[in-house]
Amino acid sequence: MGNELGMKKEVHFSATEMLEMVQMKPGVIGNYTIIPGPAERLQSILKKLENPVKDFSFMEYTMYTGYYKGTKVTAVNGGRYSPDSAIIGELVCAAGAGHIIRTGSCGALREDIAIGDIVIVTGVVRGEGTTPYYVPENFATVADIKVTNALISAAQKVGITYHVGVVWTTDALLRETKEVVEKMSKLKVKAVDMVSASLLTVAQLYEVRAGSVLAVSDNLLTGEMGFIDFKYYEAESAIIEVALEAVKTMEGD
């Protein structure tokens, strides 16, 4: 896939240089990497890992590798937006990650998706400015089926209400106009975020299995805001449980 686009070698080279810059050797991280956005969510993940060891700290990004029920897992806060998430995505791919799970947040684009639910991503409408530097306009950004199925199975075990489908990734939070939102809703897009497009695209280019699970923080159709709602906080915790349970599911395959 990457070779067909004629860019995989170049992408790998720049990411390898970045590994050298942060003094991190390939092969240190686990086969499974969980990438949240904020550092606070990273700390919540670390509380679930046994003996997490810091791999590197660079600017506001910090990576740790530990164990979850015997399975080696790496966690790194991957930024809140597409550009920095693409950088972290390239780094973990070049470092040897075999599976990546994004644990993020999103705004619902359907009235039947409530704050506190989660959305498991199958594919992305790319509306941000990072991925055009990687792939042509007609490139289809999709989540890996193995990771997606593991996330669905995990959500069922955790017992949280979940939705599965396509999300829209945008850079312009304050330009999510009524016209654009209605257009995406008519296309059956489930939610909007600011990361999934770049992270999943980078993973596809590196041929690394990747998926994304998102906690619903607000609803763009109803206007409901839930950033300080306890249901959203519970969903933030739930997506971590879902990601870790998905790791165990995949490890058992």
Backbone angles phi, psi at 95, to 5 degrees: -80, -10
- Whether pLDDT at 167 is above 90: yes
Distance between CA atoms of residues 151 and 155, nearest Å:
6
Distance between CA atoms of residues 212 and 84, nearest Å:
16
- The ranges assigned to domains in the chain are 2-252
What are the pLDDT digits (tens) for 142-164?
Answer: 999 999 999 999 999 999 999 99
Give me the count of residues in the chain.
Answer: 253
Task: Give CA torsion, residues 73, 74, 80, 83, to 10 deg.
Answer: -120
Residue 227: pLDDT band by 50, 70, 90 thresholds?
A: confident
CB atoms within 10 A of CB 195: 32
Where do the H-state alpha helices sit in 95-133? none
CA proximity to 49, closest of 240, 199, 234, 236? 240
- Whether pLDDT at 18 is above 90: no
Average the pLDDT over each of 6-10, 99-103, 180-184, 247-251 and give the range with the smallest value: 6-10
pLDDT at residue 94, as a whole number? 86
Distance between CA atoms of residues 126 and 50, nearest Å:
36
pLDDT at residue 225, as a whole number? 82
How far is residue 204 CA from its own chain's centroid?
Answer: 13
What are the pLDDT digits (tens) for 47-75?
Answer: 999 999 998 887 788 999 999 999 999 99
- Whether pLDDT at 5 is above 60: no
Domain 2-252 maps to which CATH number in 3.30.70.20, 3.30.465.10, 3.40.50.10300, 3.40.50.1580? 3.40.50.1580
Instruction: Kindly report the average pLDDT of the chain as a whole number.
Output: 89
Using the CB atoms, write b or e for 78-96: b if 16+ within 10 Å: bbebbebbbbbbbbbbbbb
Q: Kindly give, in sequence order, each residue whose CB lies less than 8 Å from that of residue 91, ignoring residues fewer than 6 positions away.
A: 15, 18, 19, 22
CA proximity to 235, closest of 142, 120, 145? 120
CA proximity to 151, closest of 212, 193, 105, 215? 212
